[in-house]
Structure 1
Amino acid sequence: MTRVGTCLWYESEGLEAATFYTSLLPNSEITRIDRADPDKPPILVQFTLMGTPYAALSPGEAATHSHAASITVEVDTQEEIDRLWQAMLDNGGEEVECGWIKDRWGISWQIFPAKLPEMMFHGDRDGGQRAYQAMLGMKKLDLAALEVAYDGKEIAQ
């Protein structure tokens, strides 16, 4: 059987990262832990996030992560955006912009409402541009503010 997945590189904290990630999302679990030495951290941790396979590789040397690759999480509600965002911050994450946040290991995540791509690319073109411009001014995305921008209304002060 052929499988496709994503491998993320950590110096030594792959198990810790996988444990944190799987605690955030339903239908997520650690599926395998491989150690070369029982007294050392695992070299490879396989896990799923909402059924999507990932691996955390911890070879003992640092690697530089880039926002050129990110984990995307599409959610339905502002409450879910807020919950995930705060969990990342509480665990040492760093806000970036436009719904992007880096976790404490430097992995970039995009946490965005499911409605956003529909607004920006498949609905009213002018509304999509307004939603896009509103998004550019945000760090954590605000679904209500994006909807107001899309509809062309002023945000109540």
Structure 2
Amino acid sequence: MQKITTFLWFDGQAEDAMNHYVSIFKNSKVLSVTRWPKGHADEGKVLVASFELDGVQFQALNGGPQYKFTEAISLSIDCKTQAEVDHFWTKLTEGGGEPGPCGWLKDKFGVSWQVVPEQLPRLLQDPDKAKAGRVMGAMMQMGKIDIGKLEAAAKG
């Protein structure tokens, strides 16, 4: 069992968010759903749902309008290829999501994500400071990260 689980607070969209995320990530599934009992004002609606995204567990709560997501916390996705970057970027911004700078985006539920190719940290940490600086400069001009442009910047 996972020791630390990310718990996401929604205002009525917990089930929609869970199903959306499970549809995007491979090796993902709904683990459990607890609904409000008979007689409650929200009878039948999801209270808490547990799900797994590529082997990582999350919980979603329909807690109400008191709290909103901010960019102060984000979920980072490590991608091996440009096709993977493109997939996650497209799926997470569709339906009202918002692209942001430097590989960041906000999905239609307000959750912030970073879609990061595995090459990026390696290129940014290159011992050649000029090379790392060119990569940083290229990344700062991007929304969705373009691996080819990062590698071109690294070459100078």
Partner of 1:68: 72
Query: Which blocks of at least 5 consecutive residues in structure 1 are unaligned?
Result: 153-157
Query: Which blocks of at least 5 consecutive residues in structure 2 are unaligned?
Result: none
User: 5 Å matches for 1:86-97?
Assistant: 86-97=90-101
User: 5 Å matches for 1:123-138?
Assistant: 123-138=127-142
Shift of 1:40: 3.2
Q: Identity over aligned residues, as a percent? A: 32
Amino acid at match of 2:62: S
What RMSD, in angstroms, separates the aligned Cα atoms of the two structures?
Answer: 1.6
Evaluate the alpha carbon distance shift between residue 122 and residue 28 of structure 1 in structure 2; reply closer, same or farther with a 3 A threshold: farther
Amino acid at match of 1:57: L
Partner of 2:13: 13
Partner of 1:34: 34
How many residue pairs are counted as aligned between the two chains? 152
Structure 1 residue ranges, 4+ long, deviating more than 3 angstroms after superposition:
none
Partner of 1:22: 22
Deviation by residue 1:7-63 (Cα, 9 ceiling, x = unmatched):
011001111101111111111111111112263321111111111111111123342
What TM-score, normalized to structure 2? 0.90
Partner of 1:3: 3
Shift of 1:150: 1.2
Deviation by residue 1:95-137 (Cα, 9 ceiling, x = unmatched):
1110001001110000010111011114532211111111111
Q: Is the 8 A contact 2:70 2:111 kept in 1?
A: yes
Q: Is the 8 A contact 1:76 1:114 kept in 2?
A: yes
Q: Secondary structure at the residue paired with 2:102? A: coil
Query: 1:124 & 1:57 partners in 2: Cα distance?
Result: 46
What TM-score, normalized to structure 1? 0.90
Structure 1 residue aligned with 2:48, among 36, 44, 68?
Answer: 44
Q: Is the 8 A contact 2:81 2:117 kept in 1?
A: yes
Amino acid at match of 1:27: N
Q: Do residues 100 (structure 1) and 98 (structure 2) align?
A: no
Q: Which moved more, 1:60-69 or 1:4-13?
A: 60-69
Structure 2 residue aligned with 1:109, among 110, 113, 121?
Answer: 113
Q: Do residues 118 (structure 1) and 118 (structure 2) align?
A: no
